[in-house]
């Protein structure tokens, strides 16, 4: 199996990183860190290291100064479960899941997972099943369905569900074959533009403007990671869009946050104005949704030449599932992780990974790709499109190999995590939250802005230093 350093090396060089830069990185800690048969700790450390190293390289481009980077594996794993450890005014998170979310069996004795945390997703599932949102009624209704037929019908109705597949079953699907042909991160030039000079500033991403149009975990983690290195990150949400408050708090650290109604002409005009002055546009919408509003990657390159456009999807941007909605838990179910973890644990049915690692690692890989593309833009010019997906990250993680007896590992306890938690103010009250695990010797990572309720700021950029 590849060592964590070998995993980082391959990731770094796969998008054109200078191998010599890896000499400045120190990786500490040992696997495993969590009870799993998968190498979650390696994924956490490698993805966060890659983003940290990209920030260090940008600082070298801006200042001529090199610096050292250290990432502790345990700290990285804790950061990739940051929502678990958040405390607001001393209080722990509320229950994470909607009442009917989770695992059910179907008529053909298969397992399906429902994701119903957003009301419109719950309503779509109940419409297909013709039942009330109660667990017993949902289970009874599902006994009239075969799993794959229900999966297809629910997606067609606007729901988000997944049938549990083994890795071999997943691998036979056209979508799996499409994902297998994609790199973990793709960076593609999509337009011509002059190189943008770096603005003044004393941090790697100081003065860099990031439009963040994302929700839940992966996309917001990307914005949070760019903010920790000094970027001005503006989270744009809609006043009517559902959100998961606890995740908004945890991933909102370091960001400004504004409401823009993208379905209105005025809102679209506001977003165009923001985009015209932005350096990075990071989004997790389905491909046709933003294109229909005039904000595809090609549109963005015309509005803002030199833009770095970052796209997140669930199952990859190629293949028959390219438009499918999805979340970490569903991609784990569909692509073989839950089946394999269940087998390793000796249980019948799915077993979740002990971290939403597809989400968190993908978020750090998004930030890594964005920074690598931004560095390239500063040297070569051009507009660039960075693409990642939860399924591509899953394939990356799967290819690390498995941990023998990994499920016997003791889970991390509160006292172990305490040294990685910091106290900070916020618009929600005092926070205890996980600090960033990439330690840079000359430009320490920190969030300069507190987490605030959605819509707290005007839809405009702050003045550059």
Kindly report which listed range (5-14, 92-101, 186-195) carries the lowest average pLDDT score.
92-101
Distance CA 160, CA 286 (A): 13
390-398 and 357-380 helices, crossing angle to 10°: 110
Distance CA 247, CA 150 (A): 29
Distance CA 49, CA 71 (A): 6
Inter-residue contact 138 to 148 (CB < 8 Å): no
Write the DSSP string, 244-284. Answer: -HHHHHHHTTTEEEEE--TTSHHHHHHHHHHHHT-SEEEE-
Residue 13, number of CB atoms within 10 A of its CB: 13
The model's confidence at residue 354, banded by pLDDT at 50, 70 and 90, is: very high
Express each pLDDT in 247-295 by its tens digit. Answer: 999 999 999 999 999 999 999 999 999 999 999 999 998 778 899 999 9
Q: Which residues contact 38 (CB under 8 A, 6 or more apart)?
A: 337, 340, 341, 353, 357, 397, 398, 400, 402, 403, 406
Closest CA to 217 of 206, 225, 227, 228: 225
- DSSP annotation of 405 reads T
Report which secondary-structure segment, H or E, holds 4. Answer: helix 4-14
What is the pLDDT, as a whole number, of residue 216? Answer: 87
Distance CA 98, CA 108 (A): 25
Express each pLDDT in 3-19 by its tens digit. Answer: 999 999 999 999 999 99
Report which secondary-structure segment, H or E, holds 208. Answer: none
Distance CA 411, CA 453 (A): 32
What is the pLDDT, as a whole number, of residue 414? Answer: 83
Closest CA to 218 of 66, 367, 49, 116: 367
Residue 98 above 90 pLDDT?
no
Distance CA 433, CA 420 (A): 8
- Specify the 3-state DSSP secondary structure of 391: helix
Kindly report which listed range (56-65, 75-84, 237-246) carries the lowest average pLDDT score.
237-246
What is the pLDDT, as a whole number, of residue 239? Answer: 86
Q: Can you give the pTM of this predicted structure?
A: 0.97
Residue 76 above 90 pLDDT?
yes
What is the pLDDT, as a whole number, of residue 255? Answer: 98
Residue 388 above 80 pLDDT?
yes
Return the beta strands (E) in 216-352 as ranges: 232-237, 255-259, 280-283, 308-313
Q: Tell me phi and psi for residue 244, to 5 degrees.
A: -105, 105
Q: Tell me phi and psi for residue 301, to 5 degrees.
A: -65, -30
Q: Which residues contact 136 (CB under 8 A, 6 or more apart)?
A: none
Distance CA 297, CA 338 (A): 34
Express each pLDDT in 101-126 by its tens digit. Answer: 999 999 999 999 998 888 889 999 99
Express each pLDDT in 221-241 by its tens digit. Answer: 999 999 999 999 999 999 888
Look over the chain and give the mean of its residue pLDDT values, rounded to a whole number.
95
Report which secondary-structure segment, H or E, holds 112. Answer: strand 111-114
- Specify the 3-state DSSP secondary structure of 22: helix
pLDDT > 70 in the chain, percent: 100
Residue 155, number of CB atoms within 10 A of its CB: 19
User: For 353, how many CA atoms within 13 A lie in the half-sphere containing its CB?
Assistant: 30
């Amino acid at each position: 199996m590849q060592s964590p350093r070998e995993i980082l090396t391959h990731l770094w060089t796969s998008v054109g990183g200078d191998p010599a830069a890896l000499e400045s990185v120190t990786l500490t800690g040992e696997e495993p860190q969590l009870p799993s048969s998968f190498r979650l700790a390696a994924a956490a450390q490698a993805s966060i290291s890659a983003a940290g190293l990209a920030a260090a390289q940008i600082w070298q481009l801006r200042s001529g100064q090199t610096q050292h980077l250290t990432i502790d594996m345990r700290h990285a794993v804790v950061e990739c479960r940051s929502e678990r450890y958040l405390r607001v005014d001393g209080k722990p998170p509320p229950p994470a899941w909607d009442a009917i979310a989770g695992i059910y069996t179907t008529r053909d004795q298969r397992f399906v997972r429902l994701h119903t945390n957003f009301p419109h997703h719950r309503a779509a599932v109940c419409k297909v099943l013709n039942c009330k949102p109660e667990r017993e009624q949902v289970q009874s209704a599902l006994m009239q369905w075969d799993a794959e037929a229900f999966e297809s019908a629910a997606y067609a109705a606007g729901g988000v569900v997944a049938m549990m597949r083994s890795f071999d079953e997943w691998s036979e699907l056209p979508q799996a074959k499409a994902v297998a042909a994609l790199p973990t991160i793709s960076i593609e030039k999509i337009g011509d533009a002059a190189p943008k000079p770096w603005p003044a500033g004393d941090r790697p991403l100081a003065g860099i403007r990031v439009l963040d149009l994302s929700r839940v975990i992966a996309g917001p983690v990307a914005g949070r990671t760019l903010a920790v290195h000094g970027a001005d990150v503006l989270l744009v949400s809609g006043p009517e869009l559902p959100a998961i408050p606890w995740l908004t708090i945890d991933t909102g650290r370091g960001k400004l946050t504004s409401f823009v109604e993208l379905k209105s002409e005025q809102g679209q005009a506001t977003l165009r104005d923001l985009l015209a002055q932005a350096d990075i546009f990071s989004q997790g919408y389905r491909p046709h949704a933003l294109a229909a509003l005039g904000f595809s990657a090609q549109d963005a390159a015309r509005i803002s030449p030199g833009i770095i456009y970052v796209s997140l999807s669930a199952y990859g941007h190629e293949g028959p599932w390219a438009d499918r909605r999805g979340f970490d838990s569903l991609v784990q179910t569909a692509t073989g992780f839950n089946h394999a973890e269940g087998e390793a644990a000796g249980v019948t049915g799915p077993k979740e990974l002990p971290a939403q690692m597809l989400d968190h690692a993908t978020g750090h890989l998004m930030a890594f790709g964005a920074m690598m593309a931004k560095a390239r833009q500063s040297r070569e010019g051009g507009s660039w499109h960075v693409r990642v997906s939860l399924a591509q990250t899953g394939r990356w993680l799967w290819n690390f190999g498995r941990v023998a007896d990994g499920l016997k590992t003791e889970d991390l306890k509160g006292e172990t995590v305490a040294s990685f938690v910091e106290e900070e103010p916020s618009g929600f009250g005092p926070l205890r939250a996980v600090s960033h695990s990439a330690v840079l010797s000359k430009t320490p990572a920190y969030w300069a802005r507190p987490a605030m309720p959605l819509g707290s700021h005007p839809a405009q950029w702050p003045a550059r230093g």
